[in-house]
Chain A
Amino acid sequence: MLETFMIFLALGLGVLGLVSLYRAFKGPTATDRVAAMNMIVTMVVAYTLIFTYLSETYFYLDIALVFILAAFIATICILKLLREGSLF
């Protein structure tokens, strides 16, 4: 029962990520696209955690941890580029 629920949860998270790609495609401003990217990063992290449990390979937890931190740095770099015009 738990594994079936987790498989359907992973499918639902994939559908939610695809739906938020719509906002990344159509968003009127650049900050809309950054917000949609943030949402997709969240979906990918949750999907990685569920895949970790389903495949019982627990080193994927480290990958999710690094993915959170790298996405944080990437978002801050994009927003600094949008605000000040240059990164450095």
Chain B
Amino acid sequence: MEGIREIIAIILMSGGFFFLTVGVVGLIRLPDVYNRLHALGKCDTMGVGLIILGLVLIVPGTTNVVKLLLMGALTVVINPVITHIITKTAYVRGTSLAEGSFVVSTYYEEEEGDFFKGEEGE
């Protein structure tokens, strides 16, 4: 019974490490701050969540398990919020897009006509 639990934990933590690796590769390779945050915001949450799920299976004691689950819940809530705030800050500061990308809809709808600029341009 103990061996099965350890094997499942190893599989889960390998998956978490894979997701973290994909996130770091996206952070290094992608051309734009928005693309980088697109890669980072999902892989970060998934990677740490899987590592915490793997640790829950092998850590002894109810208190430690509860602390780990609280940490997982905090990570799942906090990481997308941080990613959204970073992206909105980059947008407000006027960070330029990469080559060939465009904004579909804007945060600030000052004029009605500007909202669907992407479709009316054709």
Spell out A's residues near B (CB within 8 Å).
1-2, 5-6, 9, 12-13, 16, 19-20, 22-23, 29-32, 34-36, 38-39, 42-43, 45-46, 49-50, 53, 58, 61-62, 64-65, 68-69, 72, 75-76, 79, 82-83
Contacts and interface: CB of A to CB of B under 8 A. Distances in A.
A35 B37 contact: yes
Given A29-B90, A35-B27, A83-B93, A13 B17 contact: yes
Contacts of A50: 51, 55
A46 B89 contact: no
B85 A79 contact: yes
B95 interface: yes
B66 to A, nearest CB: 10
Given A49-B51, A58-B64, A16 B36 contact: no
A79 B37 CA distance: 15
B85 A58 contact: no
Contacts, number: 118
Interface residues of B, number: 44
Given A16-B24, A58-B59, A2 B10 contact: yes
Contact of A49 (B37, B52, B95): B52
Nearest to A34: B86
Interface in B1-47: 6, 9-10, 13, 16-17, 20-21, 23-24, 27-28, 33, 36-37, 40, 44, 47
